[in-house]
Structure 1
Amino acid sequence: MSADGKWKLVVHSPMGPRQLDLDITEQGSAFTGSARGPMGEAAVEGVVNGPTLSWTSKITNPMPLTLDFEVTFTGDAAAGKVKLGMLGNAKVDGARA
């Protein structure tokens, strides 16, 4: 099953949970889409490796960070992690919207 579509993810950050609405379209071994969270909306693109999608996002609020996501999409569930720059790793989970 493809991860195409709309997802509601939660990043369990050290500053508390942050919701991320993700809309993605797979295209072979790559994907594109958009991510919308409390700090705004950004285009995303990344790599598809089986059920696992990897991508990088840059944020500026509450501080400048590069976020490296690796999330596995299985059926209607998503689970993985995000590297929060100098803040370490955080769990990511969610479900198809």
Structure 2
Amino acid sequence: MNTIAGTWLLRMKTPVGNIEANYHFEEQDGVMRGSATGAGETTPLTDIVVHDDPTGQRVTWRQSITKPLRLNLDYDVTVNGDALSGESRAGRLPRTRVSGERTSA
């Protein structure tokens, strides 16, 4: 089982302010799927890759949003138990710190 599976509250410190969103990950037939809900929209997560890392489980994914701005985001986080931390990046913009905690399995 992937430790990322479940529902998470993520917090991102961005140049336009702090943003919170709910992320849901689930494994179906050996494939990870996910979605994010925040800023009045729900978007699918794509290209989810999960692999073990010495510091926890490393997870990367992509997401396109339209609020507060139209952006294509790339995430790279490490899951350790019920907490995660890492970064997101939108093209050439500076990296954004991401932290989160599991809200349900």
Check conservation: 1:2, 1:26, Cα contact below 8 A: no
In structure 1, C-alpha distance between the alignment counterparts of 2:40 and 2:93, rounded to whole Å:
18
| Structure 1 segment 32-43 matched on structure 2, within 5 A | 32-43=33-44
1:52 maps to what in 2? 58
Deviating runs (4+, > 4 A) in structure 1? none
Unaligned runs of 5+ in 2: none
Contact kept, 8 Å, 2:26 with 2:34, in 1: the verdict is: yes
1:82 corresponds in structure 2 to 88
TM superposition shift of 1:52:
1.1
Instruction: Please state if 1:68 is matched with 2:69.
Output: no
CA offsets 1:63-83 (integer angstroms, 9 cap, x no match): 321100011111010100001
State, as a whole percentage, how many aligned pairs show the same letter. Answer: 33
Q: Specify the alignment match of 2:99 in structure 1.
A: 93
TM-score normalized with structure 2 length? 0.81
Alpha-carbon RMSD across the aligned residues, in angstroms, is 1.6
* SS of the residue 1:86 aligns to: coil
